[in-house]
Amino acid sequence: RKEVEQDPGPFNVPEGATVAFNCTYSNSASQSFFWYRQDCRKEPKLLMSVYSSGNEDGRFTAQLNRASQYISLLIRDSKLSDSATYLCVVNPNDYKLSFGAGTTVTVRA
Amino acid sequence: NAGVTQTPKFRVLKTGQSMTLLCAQDMNHEYMYWYRQDPGMGLRLIHYSVGEGTTAKGEVPDGYNVSRLKKQNFLLGLESAAPSQTSVYFCASSYEIDTGELFFGEGSRLTVL
């Protein structure tokens, strides 16, 4: 079983829509969680950390459910510039981060 | 502000050839990583280093070697390239792991024929 699993999508949504997706992780000892964004043929970049209490950063909301071992990302009022692949990242409490394969979001005009 | 620089950005090799990918960071980061990214597989860790002079194996280390002789540089070597090593290679560095913020280079696209 992969350490981090994501629905690859793609999620095709119109501008202004809300889109949400999850990722699951297998290591219950994982301590920290993150979402990265990767544009086509570019390097990944940190989008936001995911805190136990949930957190928002503008139009982006991240949630953590430790009991069910999943994290989620919700994007409100989608913009064309939100089109990207979103990588779920988990720190299983060592020096290495585990990356999911990514969820592709395409926002159409 | 250069950040993380990878060279070369593109390379085509024949099976059996060797090459070295260079990663350089100017942020004085302790941790450095080499990942490969393949369609549908996500980023997979090849090797990593927690400081100058140290290296450790990641998830997919076979066929690769690394060295970290200087804090700012992390080299990835392919001794005898195979078509299965065709991939996009990303180097990353971080100051500490708890923040989860890795700074990535732009990637190196390697094709092995």
Q: Mind listing the pLDDT tens digit for each residue in B36-80?
A: 999 888 899 999 999 999 999 999 999 999 999 999 999 999 999
How many angstroms separate the Cα of B110 from the Cα of each of A38, A70, B9, B36, B59?
Answer: 19, 34, 8, 10, 19
Q: Which residues of B touch A88 (CB under 8 A)?
A: none
pLDDT band at B96 (very low <50, low <70, confident <90, very high): confident
Residues B85, A11: Cα–Cα separation, whole Å: 30
Percent residues over pLDDT 90 in chain A = 79
Q: What is the mean pLDDT of residues B8-18?
A: 97
Give the pair of three-digit tokens for residue B97: 């792991």
How many C-beta atoms lie closer than 10 Å to residue A95's C-beta? 18
Give yes or no for residue B94 having a pLDDT over 80: yes
> Is residue B45 within 8 Å of residue B56, measured between CB atoms?
no
pLDDT band at B1 (very low <50, low <70, confident <90, very high): low
* Average pLDDT by stretches of 10, chain A with 109 residues: 88 97 93 93 94 92 95 97 96 82 96
More confident residue, B100 or A67: A67
Residues B5, B64: Cα–Cα separation, whole Å: 20
Return the beta strands (E) in A10-66 as ranges.
Answer: 11-14, 19-25, 32-38, 45-50, 55-57, 60-65
In this complex, the residue of A43, A99, A100 whose CB is nearest that of residue B105 is A43
**Which residues 4-33 of A are in CB contact (within 8 Å) with B?**
4, 8, 31-33
Residue B102: which of A93, A65, A6, A47 has the closest Cα? A47
Give yes or no for residue B98 having a pLDDT over 70: no
Contact yes or no for B33 and A99 at CB 8 A: no
Report pLDDT for A36: 96
Q: What is the mean pLDDT of residues B14-30?
A: 96
